[in-house]
């Protein structure tokens, strides 16, 4: 069917094995996805020892030697975080259109509303004395005046596409340039705007924008490796092909590479909609595979590398990822924070936002920030920020 290129055939056949009879295509594909095992790279390593900590009538479980507390609460949907140079934690409050600031030295801190009246603010960064905010349709900056005060808005990128996945994430690389990710407009489709399902890069004044990586269906979180300088980003896979397909991904995002969506998922697998298209099958073979495959529908969002000396030395340069949690999986999954070791082994770090007996969640982690030997975790359901410390 594919000529001499047998590698394509081998990679396509697993997805087709039970989909061979066209009249039963949808039902069979559903059966395939239900019976697929969890990817080897995302097998969870049991913790050596754990304990639970009670927070507002709920229990969070984490490794022995660590504790977690509710650092602040009472807000709306808290999303991405950043840190100012005078010790304020910034977080976007997407549901209420705000950017908030909290003094890190305070216990149960009160929010300083830095910016308000925004439309779906999600991404936030602090760079060169400015607070940068990514709303659904624009990126702006505000001169930071200290102690939670800001100057007037300056719009840097004014014309982002709206709709679909509405979050926009920004960050500044070692090269000083602004990086931006925009999710897809749909579950699976061919986009009209090349900036969707992609990562773009701009000069600091918003000029010379260019798409540098494509096929990223919804990369909400990205960060830079502390040694190599590579960009590592999460990516949320499509729906409607079962509970265990496609895997969520952690990608090393390289300029000029395509990561598969909408034609492919995971490591070169062809989406059911395109399995009979020879050109798409060959295209999938040339895409960039994930660095790590994770449990499907975990909704992996924010991620950070650990570089704090006060935590276990064997964890240095490990990647911590927030799982926002599934929204339509038969058995809910996610709702936790995981740790990925340097050899890409995955283990739970904090669990408990999902009650596995009832299948209901009371919190959904979004982003992670390390400051002064502590981990801060934002939550867009409970309206809390949690603080994780190593016990002495």
Q: Which range, of 2-6, 92-96, 171-175, averages the lowest pLDDT?
A: 2-6
Tell me the mean pLDDT in the region 8-25.
Answer: 36
Question: What's the maximum distance between 2 C-alpha atoms anywhere in the chain?
Answer: 66
| 3 has a pLDDT exceeding 60 | no
Distances (CA, A) of 347 to 62, 89, 313, 351, 376: 11, 27, 16, 11, 19
Indicate whether 43 pLDDT > 70.
Answer: no
Whether pLDDT at 15 is above 90:
no
For residue 348, pLDDT over 90 is answered with: yes
pLDDT for res 114? 84
Write down the mean pLDDT value for the chain: 90
The pLDDT assigned to 96 comes to 97
As a whole number of angstroms, the distance between CA 126 and CA 93 comes to 16
Q: Is the pLDDT of residue 32 over 70?
A: no
Percent of the chain with pLDDT over 70: 88
Segment 231-253 shows an average pLDDT of 98
For residues 299 and 240, give the distance between their C-alpha atoms in angstroms, rounded to a whole number: 15
Q: In what order do the strands lie in the sheet with 123-127?
A: 123-127, 130-134, 139-146, 149-157
Average pLDDT of the residues in 192-212: 98
| Least confident interval from 44-48, 213-217, 270-274, 384-388 | 44-48
For residue 94, give the nearest of 119, 130, 114 by alpha carbon. Answer: 119
Q: Distance between CA 159 and CA 182 in Å, rounded?
A: 12
Query: 46 pLDDT exceeds 60?
Result: no
pLDDT score for 30: 35
pLDDT (0 to 100) of residue 23: 35
pLDDT of 45: 57
pLDDT band at 44 (very low <50, low <70, confident <90, very high): low
User: At residue 329, does pLDDT exceed 70?
Assistant: yes
pLDDT for the residue numbered 386 = 98
Bond before 322 cis per omega within 30 degrees:
no
Average pLDDT over residues 237-262: 98
Question: What does pTM read for this prediction?
Answer: 0.89
Confidence tier at 392 by pLDDT (50, 70, 90):
confident
Residue 10 has pLDDT above 50, yes or no: no
């Amino acid at each position: 069917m594919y000529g001499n290129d047998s590698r394509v055939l081998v990679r396509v056949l697993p997805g087709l094995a039970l989909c061979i009879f066209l009249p039963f295509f949808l039902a069979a594909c559903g059966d395939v996805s239900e019976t697929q095992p969890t990817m080897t790279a995302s097998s969870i390593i049991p913790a050596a020892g754990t304990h639970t900590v009670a927070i507002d009538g709920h229990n969070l479980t984490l490794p022995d030697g660590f504790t977690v507390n509710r650092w602040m609460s009472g807000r709306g949907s808290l999303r991405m975080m950043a840190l100012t140079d005078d010790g304020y934690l910034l977080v976007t409050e997407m549901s209420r259109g705000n950017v908030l600031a909290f003094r890190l030295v305070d216990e149960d801190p009160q929010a300083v509303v830095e910016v308000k009246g925004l439309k779906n603010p999600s991404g936030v960064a602090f760079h060169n004395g400015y607070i940068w905010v990514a709303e659904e349709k624009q990126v702006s900056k505000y001169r930071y005046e200290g102690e939670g005060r800001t100057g007037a808005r300056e719009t840097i990128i004014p014309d982002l596409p709206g709709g679909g996945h509405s979050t926009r994430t920004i960050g500044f690389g070692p090269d000083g340039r602004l990086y931006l990710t925009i999710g897809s407009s749909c579950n699976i489709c061919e986009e009209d705007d090349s900036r969707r399902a992609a990562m773009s890069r701009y000069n600091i004044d918003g000029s010379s924008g260019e798409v540098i990586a494509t096929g990223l269906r919804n990369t909400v979180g990205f960060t830079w490796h502390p040694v190599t300088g590579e960009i590592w980003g999460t990516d949320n896979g499509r729906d409607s092909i079962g509970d265990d397909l496609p895997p969520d991904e952690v990608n090393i995002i390289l300029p000029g590479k395509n990561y598969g969506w909408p034609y492919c998922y995971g490591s070169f697998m062809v989406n059911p909609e395109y399995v009979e298209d020879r050109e798409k099958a060959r295209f999938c073979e040339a895409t960039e595979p994930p660095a790590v495959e994770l449990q499907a529908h975990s909704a992996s969002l924010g991620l950070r590398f650990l570089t704090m000396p006060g935590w276990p030395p064997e964890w240095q340069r490990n990647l911590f990822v927030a799982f926002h949690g599934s929204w339509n999986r038969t058995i809910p999954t996610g709702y936790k924070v995981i740790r990925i070791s340097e050899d890409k082994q995955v283990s739970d770090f904090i669990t408990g936002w999902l009650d596995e007996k009832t299948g209901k969640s009371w919190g959904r982690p979004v982003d992670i920030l390390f400051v002064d030997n502590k981990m801060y975790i934002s939550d867009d359901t409970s309206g809390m920020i949690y603080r994780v410390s190593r016990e002495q």
